[in-house]
Structure 1
């Protein structure tokens, strides 16, 4: 299952830190950012994804995050 999120992450270093934090909670996931996209896309590929947990984690670190339809 692939879930796509809109974020306000701007910098590569920020995205690397977030990927590391997400992998602590979802170690079997494939996670990446597309910072070139206007929505600063976060993609997570895993069998079990908790959208609320992902949004909460990004919010905790000061970033906005919402599921793209």
Structure 2
């Protein structure tokens, strides 16, 4: 499972500190920031359990940062042939 967050974390040292806190609290999570993305993305992955978005957002808020779940805008295309009568 992967959850992606939009944040306002822009400095590498802040990102590293937050990643360390996430890894300490959730040992099965792998987190990383993409500070070059326009949304200053935080990706959190877990192979063993579901991700608790509220807990991740809380960690960032406790450190003075903003985070929200970045919704997946992907919408699969629909084949025009699937709606034609047989």
Q: TM-score, normalization: structure 1?
A: 0.96
Q: What is the number of residues matched between the two proteins?
A: 69
Higher relative contact order (CA 8 A, sep 6+): 1
Deviations 1:22-64 (A, max 9, x none): 0111111111000000100000001321100111110010000
Counterpart-to-counterpart distance in 2, 1:13 and 1:25: 19
Q: Which runs of 5+ in 2 are unaligned?
A: 72-86
Q: TM-score, normalization: structure 2?
A: 0.78
- Aligned residue for 1:21, secondary structure, equals helix
Q: Pairwise CA RMSD of aligned residues? A: 0.7
Q: 1:16 Cα deviation (Å)?
A: 0.2
List 4+ stretches of structure 1 deviating above 3 A. Answer: none
